[in-house]
Amino acid sequence: MDTEGNILMEKYELGRLLGQGTFAKVYYARNLVTGQSVAIKVIDKEKVSRVGLVDQIKREISIMKLVRHPNILQLYEVMATKSKIYFALEYAKGGELFDKVANGKLKEQTARKYFHQLINAVDFCHSRGVYHRDLKPENLLLDENENLKVSDFGLSALAESKRQDGLLHTTCGTPAYVAPEVITRKGYDGDKADVWSCGVILYVLLAGYLPFHDSNLVEMYRKIGRSEFKFPSWVQPEARKLLLKILDPNPVKRITIPKIKENSWFKKGSISEEQNLDRASGSSTTSTDHAEDQELSRPPNMNAFDIISLSPGFDLTALFEEPQQKKEARFTIWKPASVIISKLEEIGKRVRMNVSKREPGLLKLEAMREGRKGTLSIDAEIFELTPSFHMVEVKKTNGDTLEYQKVVNEGLRPGLQDIIWNWQGDEQEQQGLLPQQDQ
């Protein structure tokens, strides 16, 4: 059993039902250890498997782990049994933004505040290669401090979902908020489609009703395609100009997020993204340059959920299908990140690969010459478990698998032998990534 009375996994005390859909219910809950309020999303595994939504659920988990931001609803952990999947999510006490506009328009200053937070969250998603594709007030929640939280990434797409033409092709979203190019089914840029939806949301916040609405769906799509809408008298000229640029039916001419952030109406009373992040994290803006540099150079931190999710025994995939072979190697080291980076750079030179730093904790190794299946490219990502204990994940991003295995077996493993604590053991050996020898 996954629950005993109203206790889930001996960790969460379940409370009232917050909402429900066809495949899931959401409950208020309290963490028995910390006392923290959370929302528990309960998904019926049999139902989602029956209608083919397994991949969508797994994608939602992957995406929510990618997008950690003050204005995005946080996924704390995922738990699963044979019949249910449980998401432990940040609890948005303020409910849906939809409830605020259901009674009419918001004050311009309030609308601008929510629009700021929405744009910052969407911009962050796009920087991680994530496109939401279903932005609407019902999916925008508010916390106890009235700060916006983007939620429901069930229809989101990752950058790798694009076809060879560089465009997304799945028609999805809520009709009144969907961009005209999505309706035409000819392919679309996820970022431009999200910007359009943000524009519809801004219009709703300022006007109190939808810009495109008709009881006849075909007629509504015609209005969207031509961007036929009118402003109520109270919407100010500056806001109108911005909305006209966002709701341009031609995605090529549509304003981009960087340009939105430069807009005079948007910038009124705004705080920088850096200040917003500082406020959300409780950090001080008076830190020394040295401390800031140190923070920027640190590899990403892994929480307990991240660590557990990497273990084959806790892989959610096993609940739905036979586990497939992975193409990454992991190992742990009791050394600071700087030592690990120096070692990887040294090994890179030894195996004739160029080593470059892409972002904190991520190194890219690229072969100096092209192989049988293109240039071998390897990502080595360092995750901090404690300041002196790190996990490193090495995976092939391009090139021949046999060449990659040779680098791992003949370069990385012997090269790290003097500082390594443990490889991910037998699983890697069974996959042929590591030679059969004592750890």
Q: Where are the alpha helices (DSSP H) in 233-315?
A: 237-246, 257-262, 264-267, 273-281, 289-297, 304-309
Q: Within 10 Å of residue 198's Cβ, how many Cβ atoms?
A: 23
Dihedral over alpha carbons 228, 232, 233, 234 (to 10 degrees): -130
The residue with tokens 């742990």 is: 332
165 among known catalytic residues: no
Helix, strand and coil content of the chain, in percent to the nearest 5, comes to: 40, 25, 35
Q: Within 10 Å of residue 359's Cβ, how many Cβ atoms?
A: 11
The residue with tokens 């991910």 is: 424
- Sign for the CA dihedral angle at 305, 306, 311, 312 comes to positive
Report CA-CA distances (Å) from 204 to 115, 233, 283, 361. 11, 14, 34, 41
Report CA-CA distances (Å) from 24 to 44, 60, 87, 386. 6, 14, 10, 36
- Residue 333, helix vs strand vs coil: strand
Phi and psi (nearest 5°) for 98?
-55, -40
| Catalytic-labelled residue, pool 44, 55, 99, 134 | 134
Report CA-CA distances (Å) from 434 to 61, 63, 144, 172. 29, 30, 50, 43
Nearest to 26 by CA among 102, 95, 83: 95
Query: What is the distance in angstroms between the CA of the first residue and the CA of the last residue of the chain?
Result: 38
- Sign for the CA dihedral angle at 45, 50, 51, 52 comes to positive
- Judge residue 278's burial from the number of C-beta atoms within 10 Å of its C-beta, 0-12 exposed, 13-18 middle, 19 or more buried: middle
Q: Which residues are known to be catalytic?
A: 134
